[in-house]
Amino acid sequence: MDIRQLRYFLTIAQEGQITRAAKQLNMEQPPLSRQLKLMEEELGVTLFDRSGKQLQLTHAGELLQNRAASLLNQFNETLTEVKEIHAGVRGMLSIGAVVSCISLLPQRIHIFRQHYPEVTFKIREGDHSLLADQLDKRNIELAVTRLPFESSFGPERYAVQPLPSDPFVAVLPSSWASTAALSEISMRELADYPFLSLKTDQTIGMHERVIQEFKRGGLEPRVICECSSVAIILALVAEGIGTTILPESVMSSFAIPNIRTLSITSADFQSDVGIVWLKDHVLSNRARHFLDTFIE
């Protein structure tokens, strides 16, 4: 069995049909069917259950799929690493980021491109669940995110480079006359206003951190809305619906009028930030050099 056959097998498993897999591989169906038969004969097992309209992996097929995907990833990463020894730093760097960390990227990309102008970028935005999936599929190499990184795969799967912590700030509507004279605000004062919380079904760390800070002072916020979108929450604040608490760096990414940002007294809590990647992934030269821009 060789790398080519493993690619054939994984494509068949993904498509569920020989016909679709052959089209995806730009080859005829009979040669692909023969390759699958040769693989099964060599292994002495049946890899697919062919009784239904869709091919279904057998237990042996599932095991091979998991191992083959890992082997192909390592093979491709090794080829990339070898090529880069002579080619220098070039190609495309794919990065993921949670929306609250997008503001950390522009300056670093600008610095990076001054040294490595032949590198292009692909940037994907999403919550922790989406970024974990993108890392696992090797669609991105790095993810800039709030910590801890909430992934169903478990924290032991990732390497983390911590970045400077980001202080939380209060965000209020400019239209509220009762807060117009304030230059800062306490958690107790915030507890008196309707509160909007940033939270998704998969990512609850920031929500819990903020609620914990309220409870540490014996307070219970009046949460009237939980929302997964920073932009929507800020639009609601601008409309005078309520207040929110967000990391300070988030505000530089959103030019939304009719909101005010105040420092929070009687509380000193930070949002931890970091860059995450797979421990078993050999980072490309471009990814390693991009990491260096954060520690220079």
Verify that 93 and 72 share a domain, yes or no: no
Long-range contacts of 121-126 (CB under 8 A, 24+ apart): 121/92, 121/93, 121/94, 121/95, 122/92, 122/93, 122/94, 122/95, 123/94, 123/95, 123/96, 123/97, 124/94, 124/95, 124/96, 124/97, 125/96, 125/97, 125/98, 125/99, 126/96, 126/98
So what's the pLDDT on residue 279? 92
Verify that 194 and 261 share a domain, yes or no: yes
Buried b / exposed e along 150-163 (16+ C-beta atoms within 10 A): bbeeeeebbebeeb
The 10 Å Cβ neighbour count of residue 283 is: 18
What CATH number did the domain enclosing 255 receive? Answer: 3.40.190.10
Q: How many domains does one find in the chain?
A: 3
User: Burial of 19 by CB count in 10 Å (0-12 exposed, 13-18 middle, 19+ buried)?
Assistant: exposed
Verify that 240 and 280 share a domain, yes or no: no
Determine the structural domain holding residue 91 and report its residue range: 87-163+273-293
Verify that 176 and 119 share a domain, yes or no: no
pTM of the model: 0.69
Q: Which of 80, 115, 149 is the last residue of a domain?
A: 80
What CATH number did the domain enclosing 11 receive? Answer: 1.10.10.10
Verify that 136 and 64 share a domain, yes or no: no
Helix (H, G, I), strand (E, B) or coil at 265: strand
Interval 266-289: pLDDT, tens: 777 889 999 999 998 888 888 999
Verify that 146 and 287 share a domain, yes or no: yes
So what's the pLDDT on residue 27? 92
Verify that 159 and 282 share a domain, yes or no: yes
So what's the pLDDT on residue 256? 87
Pick out the chain residues at pLDDT < 50. Answer: none
289 CB-near residues (< 8 Å, 6+ apart)? 89, 112, 115, 116
Verify that 171 and 243 share a domain, yes or no: yes
Torsion-angle region of 81 (φ positive above 0: left; ψ -120 to 50: alpha; else: beta)? alpha
Residue type, 87: A
Q: Which of 80, 115, 147 is the last residue of a domain?
A: 80
R_g of the chain computed on alpha carbons: 25
Report in angstroms the alpha-carbon separations of 138 from 142, 236, 286: 9, 36, 15
